[in-house]
Structure 1
Amino acid sequence: FSGSDSVRTKRYKKATVYLVLQCVLLLEAIILLKFQFRLATNLVLLPDGWMCSESGLYYISSEKKNWTDSREDCLNRGANLTIINSKEEQDFFKTYDEVWIGLTNMNGRWKWIDDSTLTSSFWASGEPNGLTNKDCAVTSKNLGKSEWYDYPCSSAFKWICERKPS
């Protein structure tokens, strides 16, 4: 090797190292931006009115029906009225006003449609109020937070379907 070849080889090595470092930094930036975008959006809109969040796959109706017909609509979509198991899931619905959820009063006990017992509760103050024929629940926004209210099942509200991952 001559002196000029040695200098040229060193330059190529430096350029290669520089390009590799740039690629690594670019890859790190892409991963970071993807992660931040995912945190910022928290919601993915899907076809046919379905939404995907970290909590699950949901359909929010645009029309109003009684509780039984709302549940039937969910079943026809391969889903059921939503079951709310956490504060994060409850917070997801805080922008919706008066929508049916899958909670009913069966023989004096509030149960979810899958027959599971109510563990987390987000009842508004004074709810459920124990009045007769108020055996179905809605989640509704109230002063920036989402709370549950009992209503007659014959009332007409929008509803939330939840589809479990398959």
Structure 2
Amino acid sequence: MTRINSKEEWQFVKDLLEENKNDHHRVWLGGSDADLEGTWVWTDGTPVTFSDWLTGRPYSSDSTRNCILTYFGYSWRWYDSICSDHRWAVCKIPAMPLITSPAPTCPPVTTSPTTTTCPSCPTCPPVTTSPSTTTRPSCPTCPPVNTIPSTTTCPPAPTCPPVITFPSTTTCPPAPTCPPVITCPTTKTCPPAPTCPPVTTCPTIPGQCSKNGNFYDINTGYCYKYKVLKDSLRNWYGARTQCITEGGDLASIKSRKEWDVVKGLLQANGVVLVWLGGRDEDVEGTWVWTDGSPVISDYWNPGRPSRLTNLNCLLANSGMSAYGWFDVPCSYLYYTVCKIRE
């Protein structure tokens, strides 16, 4: 699991989380104080020296919250949570070792009585390794030059033999006593550099969506933000009127991802009972949202909605089946969650 050692490393991880926030709203980091309450350490036992805690976190009075969770609705700030919750995680994996090619070796060079200079060693092309480091192997040192003993008598030669050129031009020694010139082997070629696999990037939400926990609806093409109103308890009609004043309407839930976002916001605000925008007042048993679209959901509490004709408005209750839905009288007073299009 991820260990964060610096502000720069945390910014890098946040950028990765931001690219994937449509699917991963809450993500585990590798910190915990399960062994000693209040002493936060990473999974390798090192202390948490850098942190980005949400204001008021971690709780000093709640010993059940022992693991570090980050949430995009809090701008990826950290908070302590119950370790048994099922969340996504971000892992930290050591980098791959560098792959280098062996440097070529120059063969021994045999020269005439007059010392011949060995050509410069071949230069290898850059060797590319995954993921990005480039290493050039060092060129080896040419071996000592072997010379023909001075006692060797060269056969008479009326003319100079053809001049064989090294990488830098060699001048023919004085005629007529030039022996044949022996050359170094041809230059060796380094093996081809490995090819890195293509980089796969995750899709991002459209640029018009801000980074404050908003939800992008792929069906409508709009971005929505949600606002929990805890200033007053209201009946269903008063809750809807206030949401319209805020520039939106009572929250309607059109997908599992959207419901996960809204539930996370309700949990973060400590809201237990809250109005949603569904009702069946017009036709008993036909539940619709405030925009007239049908309520299609698997989130009703068992046995709900009931067949009682005076229970016509939709309530979410965290005390029953983790925000199960209930049909209740519209006159009851609860908190409000609004859905506002950006």
Normalised to the residue count of structure 2, the TM-score between the two structures is: 0.36
User: Structure 1 pair 68/52, CA: closer, same or farther in 2 (3 Å)?
Assistant: farther
Residue in structure 2 matched with residue 53 of structure 1 by the alignment = 213
Deviation sequence 1:50-95 (CA, Å, 0-9, x none): x942423111111211000110000011010000122233233262
Identity rate, percent: 25
**What are the superposed Cα offsets for residues 19-47 of structure 1, whole Å, 9 maximum, x if unpaired?**
xxxxxxxx9984334334765322047xx
Residue by residue over 1:89-137, the C-alpha shift from the partner in whole angstroms, topping out at 9 and shown as x without a partner, is 3233262311000000131210000000122331000111121211000
The corresponding residue for 2:311 is 134
Residues 90 and 146, structure 1, Cα contact 8 Å, conserved in 2? no
With over 3 angstroms needed to count, the CA separation of the structure-2 counterparts of 1:68 and 1:33, relative to structure 1, is closer
In 2, Cα distance between the equivalents of 1:29 and 1:136?
A: 44
Rounded to whole Å, the distance in 2 between the matches of 1:121 and 1:144 is 12
**Secondary structure of 1:60's aligned partner:** strand
Asked if the contact 1:138–1:151 (Cα under 8 Å) also holds between the matched residues in 2, the reply is: yes
Distance 2:241 2:299 in 1: 25
TM-score calculated relative to the size of structure 1 = 0.70
Change (3 A) 1:113 1:29: closer
Q: 1:28 to 1:158 in 2, by over 3 A?
A: closer
- Give ranges in structure 2 of 5+ residues lacking alignment: 1-7, 26-69, 76-210, 216-223
- Per the TM alignment, residue 154 of structure 1 is displaced from its structure 2 partner at its CA by 0.6
Q: Select 2:299's aligned residue among 87, 105, 122.
A: 122
- What does residue 241 of structure 2 align with? 72
Report which of the two structures shows the higher radius of gyration computed on alpha carbons.
2
Secondary structure class of the residue paired with 1:119: coil
Higher normalized helix content (fraction of residues):
1
Paired with 2:321 and 2:16, the residues of 1 have a C-alpha distance of 28
**Structure 1 counterpart of 2:272, which letter?**
D
Cα separation, partners in 2 of 1:57 and 1:44, compared to 1, 3 Å = farther
Using the TM superposition, give the Cα deviation of residue 153 of structure 1 relative to its aligned residue in structure 2, in angstroms: 0.5
> Which segments of 5 or more consecutive residues in structure 1 lack a partner in the other structure?
1-26, 46-50
What is the number of equivalent residue pairs in this alignment? Answer: 134
Whether 1:100 aligns to 2:260 is no
Q: Partner residue of 1:34? A: 15
> CA 1:29–1:71 in structure 2 vs 1: closer, same or farther (change >3 Å)?
closer
- Asked if 1:148 is matched to 2:325, the reply is yes
Kindly provide the amino acid, as one letter, of the partner of residue 102 in structure 1.
G
Relative contact order, CA 8 A, sep 6+: which one is greater?
Answer: 1
1:90 is matched by which residue type in structure 2?
Answer: W
Deviating 4+ runs (over 6 angstroms): none
Partners of 1:141 and 1:124 in 2: CA distance: 11
Q: 2:301, 2:321 within 8 Å by CA — same for their partners in 1?
A: no
